[in-house]
Amino acid sequence: MNKEEAKQQLIEELGVHFESEYSLPPLAARIFANLVITEEDGLTFEDCLTKQCASKSSVSTSLNLLLQMDFIKYFTKSGDRKRYFKIANKDAFFIGKLNAVLKKLEKELEMIKKVESYNIVHNPQKHEANKEKKKIYMKCVEDTKAIYRKAIEDLKNTQE
Amino acid sequence: MNKEEAKQQLIEELGVHFESEYSLPPLAARIFANLVITEEDGLTFEDCLTKQCASKSSVSTSLNLLLQMDFIKYFTKSGDRKRYFKIANKDAFFIGKLNAVLKKLEKELEMIKKVESYNIVHNPQKHEANKEKKKIYMKCVEDTKAIYRKAIEDLKNTQE
DNA sequence: CAGTTAGTTCGGAAATAAACAAACCAAAAG
DNA sequence: CTTTTGGTTTGTTTATTTCCGAACTAACTG
């Protein structure tokens, strides 16, 4: 398998992964995948257009979505009106991911607490029955959060 | 706020949460939310139908989806043709969730390794640049997995 | 066996999401 | 000032998802 083939295949695979992982529309996921694995330092609007065989408007929407989600950023070159898009920054890829998981865990905890509050008031016996399990689960979430926070710190300290 | 109001509001809120958290269709998410917070020991098909103001066919589809995803189970009462649906089991709710996260992390690792393999062959310099970050991220994922595995064990040992 | 109960299945309608084409705009170049 | 470049915006089309109604089935009931 040559490089171009390997690349295309990996983009498709990564694209599918990103769709579910980050709830991205298919085209945005593919564009992001392309930016993740490209060896170039930044791809232009046109690059994205031709590489994904998509329409201008769809590429525009997708790139703006990715920008707004902080998945990508762009830079310019003086004397060149094009924008060059690249993934937000080498760490952001991981940090963003870690933060996303953290946020989900926070939300999950919040929902569990709401259910708990409801049960304390309206279903005391049910609350008693689940107390121990909730405790284990919550500890697990807290431990995970600690690990993630540390990893984010570590990543930040790896700046080159 | 009375109990019924508090309950309805919580069901809606939990429902919205489950939609994104577990990628469930709206109706299935609401039915599951209802089963999570109900004080009854199991709700019938009809209960789900009337409480959600949905059609028979939609309730049927939703309940079967939830069954197939192992989110819920049912039991029967002798001399009663109805099925009583309830959440899969008190631990399964958490264990299932933890396992789902574990699976996602595994998949994530797998994708990262694929990108890494591609870079080793086709983009050695890029690979070198990201080596340290990948290492931190991977350690983080492994640590998380360990915590989750332990929590699952702990939950299993809490059987009443 | 005729009806009722507790659902399932199938075909389609309604809602939502994703992508597109075409018209548009602002900055730079000729 | 006209044209080209690098996009954006708007309105539509297409695809997919979600839900529903109506017809069906299998088990029980009288």
B136-152 confidence digits (pLDDT tens)? 988 998 898 899 889 98
Round to whole Å and give the CA distance between A71 and A27: 14
**Which strand D nucleotides have any atom less than 7 A from protein CB atoms?**
5-11, 17-23, 27-29
pLDDT, tens digit, for every residue of B110-144?
Answer: 999 999 999 999 999 989 988 888 899 889 988 98
Picking from A99, A40, A105, A111, the residue whose alpha carbon sits closest to that of residue A69 is: A99
Please report, for chain B, the start and end positions of each structural domain, with discontinuous segments joined by +.
Answer: 3-87, 92-156
pLDDT of B159: 64
CATH architecture for segment(s) B3-87? Orthogonal Bundle (1.10)
- CA dist A144 and B47 (Å) reads 38
At B50-105, the pLDDT tens digits run 999 999 999 999 999 999 999 999 999 999 999 999 998 766 777 777 788 778 88
- pLDDT at residue number A2: 86
CB contact under 8 A, B143 and A147: yes
pLDDT of residue A56: 98
Decide which of A73 and A100 is more confident.
A73
Residue A121 has pLDDT above 70, yes or no: yes
Contacts 24+ apart (CB under 8 A), B14-21: B14/A111, B14/A114, B14/A115, B17/A107, B17/A111, B20/A23, B21/A104, B21/A107, B21/A108
Partner-chain contact A39 B126, CB within 8 Å: yes
pLDDT at A159: 65
Residue B18: how many other CB atoms lie within 10 Å:
21
Q: Which nucleotide is nearest to A84 (CA to C1')?
A: D6
